[in-house]
């Protein structure tokens, strides 16, 4: 079969990215312009600033990606773009640029779900999704355990009933006066601490669902009470305590999921999969149960267009192309399609 | 020499295709509910109806606002990407020009936005700065000054105005926001 080259664009949040992916796997070229330093000043992503910066960088990023590849846009088989979920104004910059490329070079256009992109980051480089597989999707907006029998077949078997784990990380970071992005900064200070604080274990039952809002509230209350008593909070210890409880709970639920489903594969997806404590604990679980584990390389864990190109590949093979009236959709909690 | 002009600064979408000083085709969509779903199909309609290929376009002109932030970004993103890919010159025009260039004498020109108006003094070009006035401020200004909010576009004047503009680097084409972002204030 002829090689398939997909030019992919991602602009759903605070990263403008373009990539060229060969056969859904090989990263020929990847460019990412990050805005983290700017949003850091505001303690979180400011949507209008993000949209403006995407508009400023989009052609530079496309140019950089194509120049690094030693290929031409003519060589591409299709153009792929993230259309959901994300910040609407930001998504639209990538979408309109992708439409323009598709028009100029007469290439089919493929619309990709950002979360599915994170899942397919597990097909990049040396990784490969082996079916059937369980998956752990952990990001700022998602915390789900999924079951996949084949490509683009997603069955959610467990999910958070309230906050996503990344959201809990960000909120706890704010309570501890840590800078944006909260998750990585909690992990950083937790390394210097011990899990000394007693915190409630969330959803201590045998369902596969998760909950993080109770844990979050108890930390907010704890910090508040200690402050009122004039006691100093040991931030490193509290961060370590939170992280231990939250991630141990994820691991416990994964064990339950593997008890219920006779599956030998696990993939991990989403921004929180960059968390080293999570990566280590998942590795232990997989060693213990002899499960094949796939976690994307660090660079493919955070937002990037390579994963969008990987997720577009099965859609390309099925000729699932979209028209030029493609719109962005900001929220899309359910990605079962 | 084909020039494609794209304006998506507010609720109307305006696409012109012209050759030197002659209008080939134009398309105006009034009060569209979704700029993102309608703009690219409108461009393709124009190209198809003119029986040309997008690669026959030699120059892009785009309205950079001020207006709706998202609306302007859609036209600007499409325009700068096409100009970059085809490696053709791109020129920019403001939403104030779109009204002002049709006027014969010096006037205040105002462009509507959801919660107010963008205002500038105009005589063949923008004189001084474009200001943003909230609805109440604008109403007060209008009580004391004559302001033009609408003008039927004279196609020939628009085309010759665009033809008089110097191209800029496609990477540097960005919306003219005028209004600052809330958190920055």
Contact status, residue A119 vs residue A34, Cβ threshold 8 Å:
no
Residue spans of the domains in chain A: they are 5-121+300-317, 130-295
Contact call for B73 and A95, based on CB within 8 A? no
ipTM reported for the complex, 2 dp: 0.97
Q: Does B43 touch chain A (CB under 8 A)?
A: yes
Q: Could you say which residues from 149 to 178 on chain A have a Cβ atom under 8 Å away from some Cβ of chain B?
A: none
Domain A130-295: give its CATH code. 3.30.420.40
Say yes or no for a CB contact (<8 Å) between B69 and A48: yes
Q: Using CB atoms, pick whichever of A42, A46, A92 lies closest to residue B70.
A: A92
A131 in reach of chain B (CB within 8 A) = no
DSSP, residue by residue, A158-197: EEBSS--HHHHHHHHHHHTTPPSSHHHHHHHHHTT----S
All structural domains of chain B:
2-184 (3.30.420.40)
How far separated are the first and last CA of chain B, in Å rounded? 45
Among A60, A89, A104, select the one facing B82 at the smallest CB separation: A104
- Alpha-carbon gap: B180 to the closest alpha carbon of chain A (Å): 10
Chain A interface includes B33 (CB < 8 A): no
CATH topology of domain A5-121+300-317: Nucleotidyltransferase; domain 5 (3.30.420)
- Measured between CA atoms, the residue of chain A closest to residue B179 is A48
Distance from C-alpha of A46 to C-alpha of A37, rounded to nearest angstrom: 12
The answer to whether A259 contacts chain B (CB < 8 Å) is: no
Asked if B9 reaches chain A (Cβ–Cβ under 8 Å), the answer is no
Report B:51-80 residues touching A (Cβ under 8 A): 54-55, 69-70, 73-74, 76-78, 80
- The tens place of each residue's pLDDT in chain A, 337 residues long, gives 899 999 999 999 999 999 999 999 999 999 999 998 999 888 889 999 999 999 999 999 999 999 999 999 999 999 999 999 999 999 999 999 999 999 999 999 999 999 999 999 999 999 999 999 999 999 988 899 999 999 999 999 999 999 999 999 999 999 999 988 888 999 999 999 999 999 988 877 889 999 999 999 999 999 999 999 999 999 999 999 999 999 999 999 999 999 999 999 999 999 999 999 999 999 999 999 999 999 999 999 999 999 999 999 999 999 999 999 999 999 865 554 3
């Amino acid at each position: 079969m002829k090689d398939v080259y997909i030019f992919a664009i991602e602009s759903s949040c605070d990263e403008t990215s373009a990539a060229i992916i060969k056969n859904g796997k090989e990263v020929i070229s990847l460019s990412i312009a990050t805005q983290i330093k700017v949003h850091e000043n505001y303690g979180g992503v400011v949507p209008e600033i993000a949209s403006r910066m995407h508009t400023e960088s989009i052609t530079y990023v496309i140019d950089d990606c194509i120049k690094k590849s030693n290929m031409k846009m003519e060589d591409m088989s299709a153009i792929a773009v993230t259309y959901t979920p994300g910040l609407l104004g930001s998504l639209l910059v990538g979408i309109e640029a992708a439409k323009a490329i598709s028009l100029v070079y007469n290439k089919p256009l493929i619309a990709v779900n950002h979360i599915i992109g994170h899942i397919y980051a597990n097909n990049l480089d040396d990784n490969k999704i082996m079916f059937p597989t369980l998956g752990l999707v952990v990001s700022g907006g998602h915390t789900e355990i999924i079951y996949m029998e084949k490509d683009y077949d997603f069955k959610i078997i467990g999910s958070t009933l309230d906050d996503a784990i990344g959201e809990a990380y960000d909120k706890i970071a704010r309570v501890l006066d840590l800078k944006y992005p909260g998750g990585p900064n909690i992990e950083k200070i937790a390394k210097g601490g011990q899990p000394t604080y007693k915190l409630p274990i969330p959803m201590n039952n045998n369902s596969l669902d998760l909950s993080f809002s109770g844990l979050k509230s108890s930390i907010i209350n704890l910090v508040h009470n200690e402050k009122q008593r004039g006691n100093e909070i040991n931030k490193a210890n509290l961060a370590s305590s939170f992280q231990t409880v939250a991630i141990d709970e994820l691991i416990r639920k994964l064990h339950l999921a593997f008890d219920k489903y006779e599956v030998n594969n696990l993939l991990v997806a989403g921004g929180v999969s960059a968390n080293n404590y999570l990566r280590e604990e998942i590795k232990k679980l997989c060693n213990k149960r002899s499960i094949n584990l796939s976690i994307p390389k660090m660079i493919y864990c955070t937002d990037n267009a390579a994963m969008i190109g990987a997720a577009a590949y099965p859609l390309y093979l099925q000729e699932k192309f979209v028209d030029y009236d493609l719109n962005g959709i900001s929220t899309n909690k359910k990605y079962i399609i | 020499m084909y020039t494609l002009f794209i304006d998506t600064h507010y609720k109307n979408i305006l696409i012109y295709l012209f050759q030197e000083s002659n209008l080939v085709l134009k398309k105006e969509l009034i009060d569209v509910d979704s700029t993102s779903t309608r703009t690219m199909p409108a461009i393709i309609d124009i190209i198809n109806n003119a029986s040309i290929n997008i690669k026959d376009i030699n120059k892009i002109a785009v309205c950079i606002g001020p207006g709706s932030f998202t609306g302007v970004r859609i036209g600007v993103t499409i325009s700068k990407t096409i100009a970059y890919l085809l490696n053709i010159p791109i020129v920019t025009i403001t939403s104030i020009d779109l009204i002002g260039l049709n006027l014969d004498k010096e006037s205040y020109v105002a462009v509507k936005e959801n919660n107010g108006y963008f205002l500038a003094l105009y005589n063949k070009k923008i004189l001084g700065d474009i200001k943003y006035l909230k609805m109440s401020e604008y109403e007060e200004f209008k009580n004391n000054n004559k302001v033009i909010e609408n003008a039927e576009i004279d196609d020939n004047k628009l085309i010759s105005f665009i033809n008089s503009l110097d191209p800029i680097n496609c990477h540097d084409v960005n919306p003219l926001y005028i209004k600052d972002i809330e958190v920055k204030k």
